[in-house]
C-alpha cells in the first residue's frame, strides 16, 4: 500500500469494503447497502451504511438505541478474529487494535483498524 492516489490502494480499499459487507451479511443476515474504506497511514476506517435488520429498526422505534449498540458490539466482538484476519490479509499488515461503533439513529457503522507500523 502506498499513497491514496495509487491504484493499488484503491484496490485495497475496494476489497476491504467488499469484505466488510460480506462479514456483516454473515453476522447479521443483511449486508450494508453502502460501504467505503479510507486508509490513512496506519489507520483503516470502514464506513457501512444501511445495515440494520427489520428487528433492529423495531428496536430503534422503541428507543432501544443503547441495547442495539450493545447487541451489535457483542457480535462484532464475537467476530473480531475474522475482522482482524481479513484486514491483515488484504493490507499485508498486522492489526494492533480494532474499534467498532454504530450510530443507531442514522444506521451508520464504522470499523476502525489501527495497523502496526510498516516494516
Give the pLDDT of the chain (119 residues) as one tens digit per residue: 444 456 778 899 999 999 999 999 998 888 899 999 999 999 999 999 999 999 999 999 999 999 999 999 998 889 999 999 999 999 999 999 999 999 999 999 999 999 998 87
Structural domain for 95, as ranges: 7-115
Query: Which residues have CB under 8 Å from 45's CB, separation 6+?
Result: 37, 38, 39, 110, 111, 112, 113
Q: How many domains does the chain have?
A: 1
In this prediction the pTM is: 0.89
2 located within any domain? no
The predicted pLDDT at position 2 comes to: 40
Please report whether residue 35 resides in a domain.
Answer: yes
- The verdict on residue 111 lying in a domain is yes
pLDDT reported for residue 110: 96
The pLDDT score that the predictor gives to residue 3 is 45
Give Cα separations from 97 to 38, 62, 82, 93, 111 (angstroms). 16, 33, 13, 12, 11
CATH of the domain at 93: 3.30.980
In a domain, 99, yes or no: yes
pLDDT of amino acid 102? 95
Q: What are the cell numbers at 5?
A: 492516489
- Distances in whole angstroms, Cα of residue 91 to Cα of each of 48, 82, 88: 19, 14, 5
Amino acid at each position: 500500500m502506498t499513497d491514496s492516489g495509487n491504484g493499488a490502494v484503491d484496490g485495497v480499499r475496494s476489497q476491504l469494503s467488499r469484505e466488510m459487507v460480506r462479514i456483516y451479511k454473515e453476522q447479521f443476515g443483511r449486508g450494508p447497502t453502502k460501504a467505503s474504506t479510507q486508509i490513512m497511514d496506519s489507520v483503516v476506517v470502514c464506513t457501512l451504511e444501511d445495515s440494520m435488520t427489520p428487528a433492529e429498526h423495531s428496536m430503534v422505534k422503541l428507543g432501544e438505541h443503547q441495547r442495539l449498540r450493545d447487541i451489535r458490539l457483542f457480535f462484532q466482538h464475537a467476530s473480531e478474529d475474522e475482522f482482524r484476519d481479513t484486514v491483515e490479509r488484504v493490507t499485508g499488515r498486522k492489526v494492533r487494535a480494532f474499534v467498532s461503533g454504530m450510530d443507531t439513529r442514522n444506521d451508520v457503522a464504522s470499523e476502525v483498524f489501527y495497523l502496526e507500523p510498516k516494516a
